[in-house]
Structure 1
């Protein structure tokens, strides 16, 4: 059976740059463009030439792409100017790009209020701008801004804008839900009506996520006839974000309704790299990956309840809609106070320990986990601490070092420049193989000072921990007021890129932090094979 081509257009480098807290460097943009191209995207939109020095430089020489077409984004010409006499249009057409993506108003309300011109002048701007791009020659695309709101208000005018772009030679007319308030059933109805006037092979959809429906809206548009989807990696975008390509791509490749009827540029064998690509983007932006992201999140295939875990171990399809490995993820049966033996056995198997379910040590370990979690420990988010707990219970955890004492001082004083600063100093006394070692360090805060002091000198084990990097530190206070119990979760990473998390619990936040720190270092020594 012949499948239809479905085109994917990525807007991460433009829409993503509008995300609160996101600032792409030039190197970031080049890295992301190469990553998107390797995945198999059809179009990569680079941004708005002339909007800022960074984007201007980015478009001075387009990235070397093997698969994707490179698009520049900008406005149609202004009303009252000719296409040849519009500086913004000139900058856009001068950009080193394969494609020009214009944005144009298609809601009559916006034409009057935002542009301050007549409806006819706006149509003329669309037509002349499309023809100007084709004359360069460039492929031309029109993003019909606020199309769905415009269609609801004045369907004849919204359609006239789309038809004008098509008649002028635009390759794609993209219907944008710019405010993100349109629902899937509305999208499907409106796209169906538009496809009677403009061929679906020239229609695209650009959905924002303000009602958490951007992915559903994109799929509804495809069902109605649209053959291009615009979206971004991890759903980056202004306000609540855009349609998430990381969710759309596996849905299109793995769900029969779409996989049997459409083909996309992303080959099936590339799908297993999706989780890595998603997490790499987060790393570039110094953001923690969304654990609950569909398909690629750490919790996407995680099972906490004991009865669910038991079923998953017998047959994964009981609680998994796709195989986690297909998208580069993995199955996790979490250890928590909701766990059963199946969770414990699965986690033990993950760390290379195989026990029979009737082994008394399994029940003993399960009881210990539940007792610990009753005190505030959380092992579902601290895999390394669970492994150490399990190996200690089984008598398999080496005792690398003993902490005899530690001390932290926090002092406010004047520095050499005379400024008043707060300084933390930590001292740690450890015993390694019968040798007593004392280390001291100053840090940005008490936990940082402790971390530096503990890792400053571990004697013969020092060579194993030189590449350690603390990448995340999270605190949760619960059970009361000033005497509350504090849970600290710490994530470390080493030069291999592997990361692991540990947990500490205490009424004293420094003590809880130190527990997590010592667990993290002990786990590093264990996985490094230190004797």
Structure 2
């Protein structure tokens, strides 16, 4: 292998990723994700749909191909197609797509028991579709479905098929671990043997994550000489999903520096959160690179080490991905954790006072209460009986209305640094109406409010209808994120309490 080489990244979130149980993107959501992937994240190619699936899928493909053609990116947009005579080819033409990924059989087991055909018959049908596609001006890539089991149990068939494909006008041969069954050593052995045997073909590797080996398998596939890899945002996909885009790119950049890609690391978190919102598929808080907690130090000794000589830093720095390091507050917090948070708020405490506050936070953590940075001034005031927290903004009164067939509305009275304001607004829900009224107030003051980036509601397991409800809101302000929370038996009221904390913090 050469000392430096380029690796193609194909993102299949909009096709394979959409096979995540319960996920279905709208046409406009698909277009937005496609645009971000190609223009911000800068992947080389995107696979956006399966041909013939539905009218909605057709509309989405048409919207994406129209945009891509106008931007000169149509050659980067791919669609999964089938060995079905001219049906998929016609669908592609009507949808305006130019690159087809033909799904064929990569194992003798699939060919024999699913299609009930001999290899020669299958190859002839594949050749006919490829010939027709090329005649119509379409570019062809070929998937070898169940290739991993094909290499394990019917390697002669795989080589027979590749012997045939190397003489076909195909641009790429795509090798999927369809059931996510391979271990890294197998991936390396299988791909290296194929790359060496067919030096004239371009091979992509497509990993699934059923044994949680997707990223490890991608790494071995690249080492073995794969020319491209297939990934999805947040590891979305059928069953345990596909190899995740963010993890694979981080591993690749840190452990294979001679292999280059066009992917922009700083854009990975943004697109990850957008896809989380569109899909409703929540990112686990401990998911590498994009999870909420992965750049959060919890242990006090770690925070202390970071402060002294960045002792707990690694190459996996949050700034690479447009993120920031955080220091959690809870029962394992030490003084260093709390000092780091206080410094970010511009607060300083003497050692004796810091010890008292630390002890209170540990007590709250023992009771499994969540403590955020925005809670610190309130805790300090309570523990030290001081006036550290000055409520410059107080929500004096509000009326929330919700009626059938009428938009929810809010009348709000608020005091800001002693000045009273009253506003009325409507919204899509009571809290939305409250925020709209608040925006009117702050517009009068020529002050911009933070944008709400996440909103989570928590009710204790087994909680009844009168249970206390905790609303945790994440805000973005001047390029930084912070969290506030409110507690009340009413969800909207708990959100309003969290919002008042935000108003005082800014």
TM-score, normalised with respect to structure 1: 0.79
Question: Does residue 520 of the first structure (1) align with residue 490 of the second (2)?
Answer: no
Instruction: Supply the distance in 1 between the matched residues of 2:32 and 2:400 (Cα, whole angstroms).
Output: 42
- Write out per-residue CA displacement over residues 19-72 of structure 1, whole angstroms, 9 at most, x where no aligned residue: 223222222122111111122211112212332223323444442445683333
8 Å CA contact retained: 1:93, 1:133: no
Q: Secondary structure at the match of 1:97?
A: coil
Instruction: Supply the distance in 1 between the matched residues of 2:201 and 2:312 (Cα, whole angstroms).
Output: 38
Aligned to 1:332: 326
Q: Secondary structure at the match of 1:212?
A: coil
- Output the aligned Cα RMSD: 4.1
Instruction: Supply the distance in 1 between the matched residues of 2:156 and 2:120 (Cα, whole angstroms).
Output: 13
Aligned to 2:17: 16
Q: Secondary structure at the match of 2:50?
A: coil
Structure 1 residue 359: deviation in Å?
3.2
Instruction: Supply the distance in 2 between the matched residues of 1:95 and 1:430 (Cα, whole angstroms).
Output: 54
Which one of the candidate residues 363, 378, 385 is aligned to 1:371?
363
Structure 1 residue 129: deviation in Å?
2.7
Q: 1:108 to 1:384 in 2, by over 3 A?
A: same
Aligned to 1:315: 309
Question: Does residue 346 of the first structure (1) align with residue 340 of the second (2)?
Answer: yes
Instruction: Supply the distance in 2 between the matched residues of 1:396 and 1:525 (Cα, whole angstroms).
Output: 12
Q: Secondary structure at the match of 1:13?
A: coil
- Write out per-residue CA displacement over residues 133-174 of structure 1, whole angstroms, 9 at most, x where no aligned residue: 333333321111110112212111122223322221322111
Question: Does residue 501 of the first structure (1) align with residue 491 of the second (2)?
Answer: no
Larger mean Cα displacement after TM superposition, 430-439 or 36-45: 430-439
Aligned to 2:262: 265
Instruction: Supply the distance in 2 between the matched residues of 1:19 and 1:301 (Cα, whole angstroms).
Output: 27
Structure 1 residue 436: deviation in Å?
11
8 Å CA contact retained: 2:423, 2:440: no
8 Å CA contact retained: 1:11, 1:232: yes
Q: Secondary structure at the match of 1:140?
A: strand
For structure 2, which runs of at least 5 residues remain unmatched after alignment?
none
Structure 1 residue 234: deviation in Å?
1.6
Instruction: Supply the distance in 2 between the matched residues of 1:302 and 1:316 (Cα, whole angstroms).
Output: 14
For structure 1, which runs of at least 5 residues remain unmatched after alignment?
417-423
Aligned to 1:72: 78
Aligned to 1:171: 171
Instruction: Supply the distance in 2 between the matched residues of 1:3 and 1:440 (Cα, whole angstroms).
Output: 62
Instruction: Supply the distance in 2 between the matched residues of 1:466 and 1:333 (Cα, whole angstroms).
Output: 25
Instruction: Supply the distance in 1 between the matched residues of 2:187 and 2:270 (Cα, whole angstroms).
Output: 32
Q: 1:386 to 1:69 in 2, by over 3 A?
A: farther
Q: 1:115 to 1:510 in 2, by over 3 A?
A: same
Structure 1 residue 110: deviation in Å?
1.5
- Write out per-residue CA displacement over residues 95-119 of structure 1, whole angstroms, 9 at most, x where no aligned residue: 4234221111112221122223222
Q: 1:409 to 1:343 in 2, by over 3 A?
A: same
Aligned to 1:100: 100
Q: 1:349 to 1:190 in 2, by over 3 A?
A: same
8 Å CA contact retained: 2:148, 2:181: no
Instruction: Supply the distance in 1 between the matched residues of 2:463 and 2:51 (Cα, whole angstroms).
Output: 54
8 Å CA contact retained: 1:104, 1:126: yes
Instruction: Supply the distance in 2 between the matched residues of 1:454 and 1:148 (Cα, whole angstroms).
Output: 53
